[in-house]
Each structure stands twice: as structure tokens, then as C-alpha cells.
Amino acid sequence: MNLSDFYVLVDIKNKEIIDKFQKLPKNWKNISGLPGLSDEKLEDLNWAGHPSLGWINIYSPKIKEFKSSEENLELNKNTLKVLISELRKECQNHPIEYKSTKFKTDIKTRYTLFLKINSNSDKINFKCINGYYTFTHNEVVEIYQMIENQIQRYFDDEMKIYSEIDKCKSFSELVKINT
């Protein structure tokens, strides 16, 4: 996941992170087109009538100058977990390929394959992304297992990242996590 488009609202005067990291809103307070502004202009919004406020890119070296309260750190940990879960959901819907045949990995496909595994049919006709195909019972078992293994890998990766997130003691550590 590329978090380079994410920023955090900071109190420049107190050198404190005051909100969760997020993509820049298109319009914020009295400023239109926030994402079109340079990082330099975003870092100090005094020019827009917001003294001591700024938006800092989470990968900016300047982020190390800002502290985060315990509550804010927890907010940002939870925000990152939500983003990771969204990424997992997106990834787990990527199709798989089995002998040049493409399969959806959605819950409907998984459930249908599971039911086919428990049928007594030797030959099973199945609608795939690229047309209808006939499979043997053993092939259906292989396809089902491929899908389940792929989805389990995504959950395992998500759990590993969650564990790394939970161990973070600072905002700087949090943004170093390899997502």
C-alpha cells in the first residue's frame, strides 16, 4: 500500500500531531484545492488564516519533529488497521488462474465450489470468468484449495501487520511499517 499521499494535521507551535493521517481533503476550512498545494505551503497555513496549523506528509523527514499523544497514536494505529483491512478485502477478490481458466474468489464462488466438492459428480460444469468449463472432482478440490490458500495468506499478512502496528510506540515507528 502506498501511503505517500497521506498527510497529518499538526499544531506547528506545540509540535504535535492533532488528527489521524489521511489523504488531503479537496476543501478544508477556507482553503480550496488543498491537494494541489506544495508541501511547503501545506506545512504552515498561517497564510490562510490558520496560525500554528499545517499538514505534513507522513513520510516527510519533518514528521519526526512532532509528537503524538497516546490517544492520537491509538487513533492512527486504528486508522492504519482499517486501511490494511480494506487492502486485504480488495486483494482477496483478485481472480486466480487454474490451467488457463480464471476464477473469481468471491464468497459466492467459494461457497459454490465447496458444495461441488461435496457432490458425488465425477464431472462438474462450472462458469468461470472466461467461460464454461468442465472439471473433474479432484480439479474442483484443487481450485477450491488454491482460493482458500490465497485468502488465508492475505489474512496471515494482515495479522502480521496488525501485530507490527500494535508494537509501535510512536508515530514515526508507525509510518515505517512496510504495508
Percent of the chain beyond pLDDT 70? 99
Residue 124 makes CB contacts below 8 A (sequence gap 6+) with 116, 134, 135, 136, 137, 140
| pLDDT at 2 > cutoff 80 | no
Q: In the chain, what are the domain boundaries?
A: 1-64, 69-179
Q: What is the pLDDT of residues 64-93, one digit of tens each?
A: 999 999 999 999 999 999 999 999 999 988
Q: What is the pLDDT of residues 90-118, one digit of tens each?
A: 998 899 999 999 999 999 999 999 999 98
- Do 21 and 8 form a contact (C-beta atoms < 8 A)? yes
| pLDDT at 120 > cutoff 90 | no
Query: Residue 77, Cβ neighbours under 10 Å: how many?
Result: 19
Q: What is the pLDDT of residues 8-42, one digit of tens each?
A: 999 999 999 999 999 999 999 999 999 999 999 99
Q: What is the pLDDT of residues 135-149, one digit of tens each?
A: 999 999 999 999 999
- Angle among Cα 73, 75, 80 to the nearest 5 degrees reads 95
| pLDDT at 1 > cutoff 90 | no
Torsion of CA 43, 171, 35, 162, to 10 degrees: 180
Query: Which pTM does this prediction carry?
Result: 0.83
**What does pLDDT average to over the chain?**
94
Q: Which helix (H) or strand (E) holds 72?
A: helix 70-92
> In angstroms, rounded to a whole number, what is the distance separating the alpha carbons of residues 19 and 176?
18
Q: What is the pLDDT, as a whole number, of residue 178?
A: 78
Residue matched to cell numbers 502496528: 165
Query: Residue 27, Cβ neighbours under 10 Å: how many?
Result: 11
All cell numbers assigned to 78: 486504528
